[in-house]
Each structure stands twice: as structure tokens, then as C-alpha cells.
Amino acid sequence: SQQGEEDPQALSIQEGENATMNCSYKTSINNLQWYRQNSGRGLVHLILIRSNEREKHSGRLRVTLDTSKKSSSLLITASRAADTASYFCAGNAGGTSYGKLTFGQGTILTVHP
């Protein structure tokens, strides 16, 4: 079963608007990562936030993490049509979990030109 749950499942916006996606997870994590996937192709790593961090920025991306609520959010500012994709959060528990990432079900983002 999936550990993470993304909200919303689908998001449709106009170019230039901001897109916010939320993720909740169930077990303790060492870090939480966000990935992007274009139309059933491979996933691309976007950003990683450690459990002792609360906010992180990378270009137009801003990620927050609230470990007390077991939740994270991804904000894409000034969206572009090229941002249209599925976005997944994935938790890494560390320890004996080694390379296992537990993915959520994803948010499908559509950005209209």
C-alpha cells in the first residue's frame, strides 16, 4: 500500500498561476523527496527535504515539511505549460529501509497556456 497520499489528485490551472500540491505520510522519515513524471515516462528528481528542515527552495519550487503533522507541500510558482506532469512525493525512512522510497499516488497537474 502507498504510504503517501497526495492532495489534490488533479489540478488544472492557467499559465502564470501558482500550483500547490500536498502530501501526507504515515511513518517517520529521514527525508522526503518530490519527483515529476511526464506522461508515463521515467521519474525526475525535483527536490529533497530532510526531516530536520522546514522549508527548501529550488528555482520556482518551494517545499515545506511539517513532521509533527506528517505532511509536506510543493509549490510551483509562475507555472508554465511545460510544468504539465504528474508529481509524486516519496518518503525515505532511512535505517534498514536502505534504498526504499515509498511513493504517494501523485497529483496530475495540467497547466493551460
Contact footprint for another protein (CB under 8 A): 2, 4, 30-31, 33, 35, 40-45, 48, 88, 90, 92-106
Q: How many CA atoms lie within 13 A of 47 on its CB side?
A: 19
Q: How far is the CB of 2 from another protein (least distance, A)?
A: 6
Dist. CA 12–CA 62, nearest whole Å:
19
Dist. CA 109–CA 96, nearest whole Å:
34
Q: Do 7 and 22 touch, CB atoms closer than 8 A?
A: yes
Nearer to another protein, 16 or 57 (CB): 57
Nearer to another protein, 8 or 16 (CB): 8
Nearer to another protein, 16 or 24 (CB): 24
